[in-house]
Chain A
Amino acid sequence: MQWEVVIGLETHVQLQTKSKQFSGASTTYGAAPNTQACEVSIALPGVLPVLNKQAVDCAIKFGLAIDADIPPISVFSRKNYFYPDLPKGYQISQFELPVVGKGTVTILVPASKNTEAYEKVINITRAHLEEDAGKSVHGAVEGMSGIDLNRAGTPLLEIVTEPDMRSAAEAVAYAKKLHELVQWIGICDGNMQEGSFRCDVNVSVRPKGTEKFGTRREIKNLNSFKFMLQAIEYETQWQIETLEDGGTIQQATVLFNPDTGETRAMRSKEEANDYRYFPDPDLLPLAVTAADKARVMADMPMLPQALQAQFVRDYALSSYDANALTSSKAIADYFIATVQAGAEPKQAANWVMGAVSAKLNAEEKSILDSPLSATQLAALLKRISDGTISNNAAKQVFEAMWAGEGEVDAIIDAKGLKQVSDTGAIAAIIDGVLAANPAMVAEFKAGKEKAFNALVGQCMKASQGKANPAQVNELLKQKLSA
């Protein structure tokens, strides 16, 4: 039987605020335990929540960025459960009326062995504001768990998709796109190690061609794209094998173990699932007016999809190139700066996505830490287009500039890479090559096209790679047909 996997994601995005969702405690990561846990964070009796304006603005910003419904009123509810890292006994969240309604995110799924790259629209069901819980520390004291409430009350936006994804690759493409978008609009620092961006993935399988969804299992707290891919692939295979062996899938929460590459059920959801939501009487309904939306919109950077369209229109780049160059704001800014410094757009695109990206990847650096500035790259590209150096020589100059050996012209001089474009000099080189290789000349005259390329190669070699290849071609043709 052919199986189809159905995937939906819930992503917890930590919002970039200085203070907590409902109190004036700091949200700075990595402080000593409980030094940022105020009376609201630890839920002393009688304290009351006061909502953070910045967190609300972040939610509105996200809603605008995905072209979502933003209703005039949303409501905070209590989600009740007991766990020591949740001292109130409930999490303040939103249930029936979230701050952000339906929207869409367009993903680009990269090409694989069997498929071409393609675009797909993923529907967002909702996004709601809530607060994070604290952290439990196990093993420090025998028989006890330690509780650190610094994170308790940190503002989160939970973004929920429809079950629209049909492969692990689509799920990862969505997660990456969302990760890029929340950083682009400046609502999240995107730091996955520190837990600022955490994904829960709902996975089920069904016979291909059927309508009814299978029973889903939820993979919790994936904090890397690599693990997400592995976890979904393992889980999908496990569900298919279980069903093919005549078993059934029980709804469950599962954890991924990166060491074994396996998923394992954590707890049955039956009882834990009864959260008894009800509107939080401590908080009034949240109003978002047209004026609020306009104010947030005014503060919005140009969105990646708009910039992508602009690159295609103004710079005649392909949709693929434009998509790659808008994969992060820093890359897009670097590319724009390169073009503004005088580089030809298509050439700049090739170098930014090619040599520059390769170097950054190899050195595990962000483009923000690139030792080669956009202005320097533009200066290098100018020397290619004005014929001073060949493409091959440019690669050597690029390496030298990357290593901090100086500016482009100084390096070209120091390494003697200046391209020879003087017709007389090139003609002299060609004459020498023709005289030294009568056999090749004879082969060419006998109709062997390959011999021509070999002669070009010899000329380039004789010039130590410095002859302008276009001119060598031209002059060689003239001389051979003379």
Chain B
Amino acid sequence: MALNLDDIKRIAHLARIQVSEQEAQATLSKLSGIIGLIEQMQAVDTTGIVPMSHSQDVTQRLRDDVVTSDNQRERFQSIAPATQDGLYLVPKVIE
């Protein structure tokens, strides 16, 4: 699979990362290298091997359903750029 500059710009947009034309070019060659590596790995026959979703063969520990955190709004909002009436304020979003 060959990447082109449009792919790079689209991926950057999806990740909300601003890239200059120069950076996009540099990223294209780096990412193409990584994709090339993956293509090499895909040549390995993995028939019958169950994909792993984690590097360790262990399972999730669960937490009892208990409320353990109390209201710390004042502390959290003391470092927020803008708040009002307990709400965090962000630039207007309209669908």
Q: Chain A interface (Cβ within 8 Å of chain B)?
A: 17-19, 23-26, 32-39, 42, 44, 50-56, 73, 75, 80, 82-84, 97, 136-138, 140-141, 143-149, 266-267, 271, 274, 276, 279, 281, 283-287
Contact = CB atoms under 8 A, between A and B. Distances in A.
B68 A284 contact: no
Contacts of A73: 59
Given A52-B62, A73-B59, A284-B56, A36 B68 contact: no
B62 A35 contact: no
B60 A53 contact: no
Interface string B63-74: 111111101110
A42 B86 CA distance: 13
B82 A144 contact: yes
State the 9 A-B residue pairs at the shortest beta-carbon distance, nearest first: A24-B68, A146-B87, A54-B65, A33-B86, A53-B62, A287-B59, A38-B69, A279-B53, A284-B60
A260 B3 CA distance: 47
Contacts of A281: 54
A143 B73 CA distance: 23
A285 B51 CA distance: 12
B8 to A, nearest CB: 14
17 contacts: A19-B66, A24-B66, A24-B68, A24-B69, A39-B69, A51-B61, A51-B62, A52-B63, A56-B62, A84-B93, A143-B91, A145-B92, A147-B90, A279-B53, A279-B54, A284-B54, A286-B59
Contact of B63 (A42, A50, A137): A50
B69 A146 contact: no
B89 A42 contact: no
Contact of B95 (A24, A97, A267): A267
Given A19-B66, A33-B86, A284-B59, 16 more contacts: A18-B66, A18-B67, A19-B68, A24-B66, A24-B68, A33-B85, A38-B72, A44-B76, A52-B65, A53-B62, A53-B63, A53-B64, A97-B53, A267-B95, A271-B14, A284-B61
B63 A146 contact: no
Nearest to A77: B53
Nearest to B55: A281
Nearest to B82: A144
B84 interface: yes
Contacts, number: 126
Contacts of A19: 63, 65-68
Nearest to B62: A53
A42 B76 contact: yes
A80 B14 contact: yes
B85 A274 contact: no
A141 B89 contact: yes
Nearest to A72: B59
Interface centre among B60, B66, B71, B77 (most CB of A within 10 A): B60
Contacts of A55: 65
A400 B54 CA distance: 67
A257 B83 CA distance: 31
A146 B76 contact: no
A284 B58 contact: yes
Nearest to B58: A284
Contact of B85 (A23, A138, A140): A140
A37 B90 contact: no
Contacts of B76: 34, 37, 39, 42, 44
A23 B16 CA distance: 27
Nearest to A32: B86
Given A37-B76, A140-B84, A143-B91, A25 B67 contact: yes
A42 B59 CA distance: 26
Nearest to B71: A35
Interface in B40-54: 53-54
B1 to A, nearest CB: 16
Nearest to B87: A146
Nearest to A274: B14
Contacts of A18: 65-67
B86 A145 contact: no
Given A34-B76, A42-B76, A52-B62, A84 B90 contact: yes
B71 A36 contact: yes
B94 interface: yes
Nearest to A28: B67
A26 B65 CA distance: 10
A143 B84 CA distance: 13
Contact of B14 (A23, A38, A138, A276): A276
A24 B63 contact: yes
Nearest to B14: A274
